[in-house]
Structure 1
Amino acid sequence: MLTVGSVVLGVSDVQRAAAFWTATLGYVPREEIADDWVVLVPAEGTGVQLSLGLSETPVQELPRVHLDLYAGDAADQAAEVERLLGLGAQRVDWAYYPDDADFVVLADTEGNRFCVIDTGRP
């Protein structure tokens, strides 16, 4: 049986991306950060790893794969979005929001899209 070992993001600056994602998720580097690769792991316990690999390919405006980060409710979501913006994330002008969207689309310091989800809705 297979399991997900790591989600991999292509980045143009591994150090910058590692700084953003460690602050965002409370993760730590599994080993020393190299110029072209790092694997980030939860500081406490187990969980999905996030690997950052040097990439020269352009960021996809409409990525087929992205991260969903869960917040507890609308207030938590709003607070987390503001915290992430303070860490260097950017709001994405997303034309595809449904009327009752429970998510906010942001981009990390490398332009990779991700969502912050309000999981407090039924």
Structure 2
Amino acid sequence: MLRIGAIVLNVSDTERGSAFWSAALGYERSTNPDFLEPGEGTAPSVHLDQSDRTHLDLWTDSAEEQHAQVERLVTLGADRVDWDYPEDADFVVLTDPDGTLFCVVDTSAHSAGEQTGDATARTE
């Protein structure tokens, strides 16, 4: 099932952004201080990043599901982005019909409880 796993927010100061967004949303810092997790429920994480653009990370549970979702999104109007992917990339970068970047991330490579990192920040 494709789901919003993280909302990546571009901030000039991650410490200040963390203080504001955790108070505003009732989120808590995860073991990775750049990630905020919902205190209750199953809302998406918030990833604070100083070098990346604001975008969505959509999560899948396997490489097969990631491939199927990317193909489905392309048929809906998304475009693949020519990206400089690292060798061990767990993400695919797409744009929506208006050109807004987003990532489809295969979370199966991450151990239980490990926070998935931001895809585009690792390659820019």
Normalised by the length of structure 1, the TM-score is 0.50
Alignment partner of 1:120: what SS?
Answer: helix
Query: Which residue does the alignment assign to 1:88?
Result: 77
Are residues 1:114 and 2:102 paired?
A: yes
Q: State how far apart, in whole Å, the 1-side matches of 2:80 and 2:98 are.
A: 13
Q: Taking every aligned residue pair, what percent have the same amino acid on both sides?
A: 54
The unaligned stretches of length 5 or more in structure 1 are: 5-44, 49-61
Deviation per residue, 1:53-78 (Å, 9 max, x gap):
xxxxxxxxx96221100011100000
The unaligned stretches of length 5 or more in structure 2 are: 1-22, 27-40, 45-50, 111-124
Structure with the bigger percentage of helix: 2
Moved over 4 A (4+): 45-48
Query: Which residue does the alignment assign to 1:3?
Result: 25
Structure 2 residue identity aligned to 1:3: L
Q: State how far apart, in whole Å, the 1-side matches of 2:63 and 2:42 are.
A: 27
Over the aligned positions, Cα root-mean-square deviation in angstroms equals 2.4
Normalised by the length of structure 2, the TM-score is 0.49
Matches within 5 A, 1:1-122: 1-3=23-25, 47=43, 64-95=53-84, 97-122=85-110
Structure 2 residue identity aligned to 1:77: Q
Alignment partner of 2:54: what SS?
Answer: coil
Aligned length: 68
